Structure formats: C-alpha cells, structure tokens
C-alpha cells in the first residue's frame, strides 16, 4: 500500500469525479462569487462484528491527504500552479503520511440502485461481508465539504458476524482500489477515535460516538 513511486503533479483538465465551477451572485446587495466542485454523493457504513466485538474500518492511501502534507513541508510545490507547471517531487515524503482510516464507503453513481443496495455492494467489495438491505440501519445523512463540494453522504449501520464474511475484501483492483481491512476492538474504539496519531475521517469519530450512545448500552453485559 505504501510503495508509492514516480509522483508527479500536473493540472487537471478533465475528471470523471470532479467538475469545477464559479458561481456569481448578489447577497444582501453585495456582489460575490464562489468557486466550488460538483461531485457525487456517497454512502458510508459503520460495520460492527458481533462475533469479535469490533468495528470494521478500512485503511487506504489518499493522494489529497498526502499532497496536503507535502505542501505543508514544501510550500513551493503549488506556487506555479497558474502557469501550468509544477516542480518535480524530489525526495518525497513517506507515503504513510497519506494513509487514513475511514468507514467503508462509496460514491453514488449507479442510478438503478438504491442507497441501501450501493451500501451493501461496498461492504462486500471493501470488507468482504455479505449483508442484505434488511441488515442496514440508516443513521442519518449530512453534507460534507460544504465550502467546496456540498455533497451529501448517507451513513448506515450494519451488524455482521464471522459467518457472513465471504472474502478478504480490499476493494476492486481493476478500479485502482487498494484497501486494507482493519478491526478496532470495541473497548479501544473511543481512544482510537481521539488519537491524532491515527489519521481518520470525521465519519469514524461521529459513528463511534453514535454507537456508544445508541447501541453499546443495549449490548449483553459480560
């Protein structure tokens, strides 16, 4: 996962996933404009394995996170972006600085499928568990990246057990996915959520808190 080589930054002139726009408008008499990106909505799934009392999350390399760290250490990388040229990334940072812990998730790009069906597909592809839509509980939906994309993510909860696992997961290599499945023991989950040495999404923190408030009190006492 972390054997990243031959890094090169270049202008993005077209994309299957992002479309940049500029909105001009007048607000309370003041002329304004705002740059934003249109992108897909998404689903995410908090997975709890009842057999081993642990959360199932994913770990993967995120180029955007990596480049934020690169720019923090080497601000000159993006200084010539308006000229369409970028300095080469000599002596790049370790790829580990771009690896994050996340909920199982996926974009909503299949018009024929419901959000629940897409979520089930993602659980199987990324984590290897076969769940049905009846196994899903919708927690809530929220806006992410409100300053840039404003896309909606819908969060589900799914309980699984060892018998429901049919593969090792890991995503779809033909789509460039390289995902590691990680188990977080229930008893260590809140410590993990607030430990900044483990880079993670807000979805992980929020969903762990939701679980401890709504599901944990109903678990059988040991």
| Residue pLDDT, tens place only, 167-211 | 988 766 666 568 999 999 999 999 999 999 999 999 999 999 999
| Residue pLDDT, tens place only, 94-151 | 899 999 999 999 999 999 999 999 999 999 999 999 999 999 999 999 999 999 999 9
Helix and strand totals (H; E) in the chain = 4, 9
* pLDDT of 127: 96
* pLDDT of 16: 87
pTM above 0.85, yes or no: yes
CA distance 158 to 103: 12
Domains of the chain: 21-78+93-217 (3.90.79.10)
- 93: Cβ–Cβ under 8 A, 6 or more apart, which residues? 66, 69, 70, 73
User: Taking a C-beta distance cutoff of 8 angstroms, is the pair 179, 171 a contact?
Assistant: yes
- 176: Cβ–Cβ under 8 A, 6 or more apart, which residues? none
**% residues pLDDT > 90 (the chain):** 73
Query: Above 80 in pLDDT, residue 91?
Result: no
Report the Cα–Cα distance between both ends of the chain, in Å, rounded.
38
166: enclosing H helix or E strand: none
* pLDDT of 27: 95
Confidence of residue 82 (pLDDT cuts 50, 70, 90): low
Residue among 219, 204, 210 nearest 60 (CA): 204
């Amino acid at each position: 996962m972390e054997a990243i080589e031959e890094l090169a930054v270049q202008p993005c002139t077209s994309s299957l996933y992002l479309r940049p726009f500029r909105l001009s408008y007048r607000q309370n008499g003041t002329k304004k404009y705002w740059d934003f990106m249109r992108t897909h909505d998404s689903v995410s799934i908090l997975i709890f394995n009842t057999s081993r009392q642990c959360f199932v999350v994913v770990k993967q390399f995120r180029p955007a996170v990596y480049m934020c760290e690169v720019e923090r250490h080497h601000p000159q990388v993006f200084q010539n972006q308006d000229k369409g040229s970028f300095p080469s990334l000599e002596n790049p940072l370790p790829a580990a600085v771009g690896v994050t812990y996340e909920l199982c998730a996926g974009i909503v790009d299949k018009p024929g499928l419901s959000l629940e069906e897409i979520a089930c597909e993602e659980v199987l592809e990324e984590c290897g568990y076969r769940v049905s839509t009846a196994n899903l509980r919708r927690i809530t939906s929220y806006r992410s990246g409100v300053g840039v994309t404003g896309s909606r993510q819908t969060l589900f909860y799914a309980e699984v057990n060892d018998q429901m696992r049919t593969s090792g997961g890991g995503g779809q290599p033909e789509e460039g996915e390289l995902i590691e499945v990680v188990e977080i023991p229930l008893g260590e989950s809140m410590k993990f959520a607030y430990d900044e040495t483990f880079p993670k999404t807000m979805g992980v923190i929020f969903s762990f808190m939701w679980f401890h408030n709504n599901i944990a009190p109903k678990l059988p006492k040991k």
